[in-house]
Amino acid sequence: MKKEIIINTFHLFLNKGVNALVPLLLIPLLNEKFGIVGYGQLVYIQAMLTVFLLIADYGFIVTGTRDISLFEENIEERNKIASAIFFIKALLISVGFIACVVYFIFFYSGSQFVFLLSMAVLISFFMQSFVPSWFFQGIKKNKYISSINFITKILFFISVFYFLNKGATLIAVPVLEFTSYLIAIIICIYLLYRYEKFKFKFPSLSLIKDQLKQGASIFIISILNWLILAGSIFFVEKYTSKQSEEYGYYAAFSRLAYYIFAIIQPINQAIFPYFVSSFSNKAANASKFVKSTFLYYSILVIVLVVGSILGSYLFFKFFFNQQFNSVLPNYINTFYILIVWVGLVLYNNFISLQLFVSKGKDIVYRNLYLLNTFVTVILFITLIPKYNSIGAAIALLSGELIMLLIYSRKIFVNKEVVLS
């Protein structure tokens, strides 16, 4: 099992690493071509429309993985679950797309450029949500999705680099991205039918209801997470103006923080199916697994946080232009706080997935995230008008810290999770 975990973790690292690295490498290119304000505009639109990606996913990246892993050897049951998830996703995507079209036709009054950029980003998100990574994670064959993702992301990066140097507008970025996701979907569907014996079966109403119920808590958490991240960008934009350099820097910092988070998060996702299987059979095995992995996980998180802070100036100097770096000292403290916040998010995600969600205790995770969101939004309203971007970073850090402290009490004082 250890060998299998290492292999699946490696492939998930490759998958998520490419997802983080390619956009990371594009930041200086986009900044050079469109300026920090232009890049901030793209980040703002992506942040606002991410809610449609979350609606289309509906938490299946977690619950779909869990359910598929429970029926890994039962092909018929596995196909029923996968069919229901595909059906629900297609329905949610259709409803979301129609809602956006109605909004832009009857209520939108902005520029045509922003409209086209928004629609391209939206379609890109919908294509991304339909890639069945949850299925391959559930059957512990991350090599499929990592290989497909690696090829399509490299093609995406090369095509963006080529077309932007040929004078393409900012709209080309999401257009090329949804093209890469479309290619990935076609390859994935072929692999499912050819090698995994998948056959779509029209799901019963009861199965659809069951899957919607299964994903509800994780979906709520995803929406709350979007409210936190999009809320920070919204409030910073509101009090600094989209034309302000501070908003542009915060947009870049928040995006970098997400990609740094994505470097370690694959560990959580790779080992999650193994925790599900262990807890469903013998909790002691999973408890031992927690202790043996948490130490190494903690070391990685600490190295990532400290390394990101110490190496930040070198990174910005290497990847960003002189104009960006000349003003960087004015806002670098915001970046430092966001990196510490990422460390706390990684710890909370590990505890949530491996100790609670793997045991079916999604509601605990949901309730704590509700508290996190409430605290963070209150601090947004309180701190951002006075301290701008650094107030947003402090608010994010505070909410996550409170969540970690409560988790610690549940584990070590209340003994809600037995680790012995």
User: What average pLDDT score do residues 76-102 get?
Assistant: 92
User: What average pLDDT score do residues 181-196 get?
Assistant: 91
Instruction: Count the neighbouring beta carbons within 10 Å of the beta carbon of residue 240.
Output: 19
By the 8 A CB rule, do 367 and 337 touch? no
By the 8 A CB rule, do 351 and 269 touch? no
- Identify the pLDDT of residue 417: 67
Residue 114 has pLDDT above 70, yes or no: yes
Helix (H), strand (E), coil (C) string for 271-340: HHHHHHHHHHHCHHHHHHHHHHHHHHHHHHHHHHHHHHHHCHHHHHHHHCCHHHHHHHHHCHHHHHHHHH
- Identify the pLDDT of residue 184: 92
Residue ranges of domains in the chain: 2-413
Which range is least confidently modeled, 55-69, 72-86, 262-276, 342-356? 262-276
- Identify the pLDDT of residue 238: 81
- Identify the pLDDT of residue 46: 86
Residue 3 has pLDDT above 80, yes or no: no
Please tell me which residue, 246 or 397, carries the higher pLDDT value: 397
- Identify the pLDDT of residue 5: 67
What is the pLDDT confidence band of residue 279, given thresholds at 50, 70 and 90? low
Angle between helical axes of 2-57 and 142-165 (0-180°, round to 10):
60
The conformation of residue 415, written as its DSSP 8-state character, comes to: -
Which range is least confidently modeled, 17-21, 101-105, 325-329? 17-21
Sign of the alpha-carbon dihedral angle for 264, 369, 125, 210:
positive
Residue 288 has pLDDT above 80, yes or no: no
User: What average pLDDT score do residues 215-238 get?
Assistant: 85
User: What average pLDDT score do residues 293-309 get?
Assistant: 89
Which range has highest mean pLDDT (8-12, 247-251, 279-283)?
247-251
Residue 13 has pLDDT above 80, yes or no: no
Helix, strand, coil % over all residues of the chain, rounded to 5: 90, 0, 10
- Identify the pLDDT of residue 281: 61
Please tell me which residue, 291 or 152, carries the higher pLDDT value: 152
The conformation of residue 74, written as its DSSP 8-state character, comes to: -
DSSP three-state, residue 238 = helix
Residue 342 has pLDDT above 80, yes or no: yes
Residue the block writes with tokens 């949530």: 352
Closest CA to 410 of 362, 331, 333, 351: 351
What is the pLDDT confidence band of residue 79, given thresholds at 50, 70 and 90? very high
- Identify the pLDDT of residue 370: 92
User: What average pLDDT score do residues 288-310 get?
Assistant: 86
- Per residue in 366-407, pLDDT (tens digit) is 899 999 999 999 999 999 999 989 999 999 999 999 999 999
% of the chain beyond a pLDDT of 70: 93
Residue the block writes with tokens 């056959």: 199
Question: Is 413 exposed, middle or buried, given 0-12, 13-18 or 19+ CB atoms closer than 10 A?
Answer: exposed
Radius of gyration of the chain from its Cα atoms, rounded to whole angstroms? 21
Q: What is the C-alpha to C-alpha distance for residues 29 and 321, in angstroms, rounded to an integer?
A: 10
- Identify the pLDDT of residue 182: 93
Residue 10 has pLDDT above 90, yes or no: no
Please tell me which residue, 146 or 269, carries the higher pLDDT value: 146
- Identify the pLDDT of residue 284: 54
By the 8 A CB rule, do 350 and 294 touch? yes
Confidence (pTM) = 0.73
**Average model confidence (pLDDT) across the chain:** 85
